């Protein structure tokens, strides 16, 4: 079984302006989707991420606090999944509620050097 990190690049502006009903629907959509993934054995874990972010760069460890307003998209959450191959995860990710409000999902296979 291989592991995959599903990153949710969310459209922050769209999400912040959802109506209460739309927020409720989106929350429930994530719950339902996560339930299905859990029942079918794909889900290892998942979390939403706060908008605040801190970047540390270079040898001097320069610290820069965000969010960075130049981009309306940011990683707003992740799911850690397990599946037999990438194709399975692509099929699963197509139904991710992140896409409902202008978000993009990105699949990153977890490196497994035993396979090399």
Partner 1 sequence: MLKNTIIFKEVEISYRKQYGKLFSALLFQYGSNYIEQIEDAIQNTFYKSLKNWKPNQVPKNKENWLFIVARNDLINQIRKESKTVETLPIIGVVDKEELQEDLRLKTILFFAITKNISTQIKVIFILKNIFGLHIKEISESTLINSDAIYKSINRAKKSFHPNKFEKLTRLEKVDRKTIEIVEEILYAVFNIGFDSFNSTNDSIVNDDICLEALALVKLLFQEYKLKSTSNLIALFCFHIARISSKESDKELVLFIKQKDNWNSELIKLGFHYMKKPKKLNRYYIEAIITSKHMTTELFDLNYWNQITELYKLLITITESPIVKVNLCYCLHQAKRTNEAVKFLEQIEKQLPENHLYFSLVKADILKKENAIESGEIINKILNNVSQDIRRKHIAENILPNL
CB of 86 to partner 1, least distance (A): 16
Angle CA(54)–CA(101)–CA(50) in degrees, nearest 5?
A: 20
Distance (Å, rounded) from C-alpha 52 to C-alpha 49?
Answer: 8
DSSP structure class, residue 75: E
Q: Is 13 in the site for partner 1 (CB under 8 A)?
A: no
Instruction: Return the residue of 46, 73, 74, 107 that touches partner 1, per CB under 8 A.
Output: 46
Q: Which stretch binds partner 1 (CB under 8 A): 32-40, 53-61, 63-71, 106-114?
A: 32-40
Q: Which is nearer to partner 1, 5 or 34 (CB)?
A: 34
> Is-contact 37 92, C-beta < 8 A?
yes
Cβ closest to partner 1, residue 54 vs residue 57: 54
53 binds partner 1, rule: CB under 8 A: no
HSE of 112, CA atoms in CB hemisphere, 13 A: 12
Question: Which letter does DSSP use for residue 110 in this model?
Answer: P
Q: Applying CB under 8 A, which residues contact partner 1?
A: 1, 15-24, 26-28, 30-32, 34-35, 37-44, 46-50, 76-77, 84
């Amino acid at each position: 079984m291989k592991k995959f990190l599903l990153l949710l690049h969310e459209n922050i502006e769209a999400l912040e302006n959802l109506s209460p009903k739309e927020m409720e629907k989106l929350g429930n959509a994530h719950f339902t989707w996560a339930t299905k993934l859990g029942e079918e054995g794909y889900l290892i874990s998942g979390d939403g991420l706060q908008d605040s972010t801190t970047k540390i760069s270079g040898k001097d460890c320069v610290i820069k606090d965000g969010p960075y307003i130049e981009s309306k998209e940011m990683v707003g959450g992740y799911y850690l999944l397990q599946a037999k191959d990438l194709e399975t995860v692509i099929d699963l990710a197509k139904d991710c509620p992140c896409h409902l409000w202008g978000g993009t999902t990105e699949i990153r296979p977890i490196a497994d050097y035993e396979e090399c």
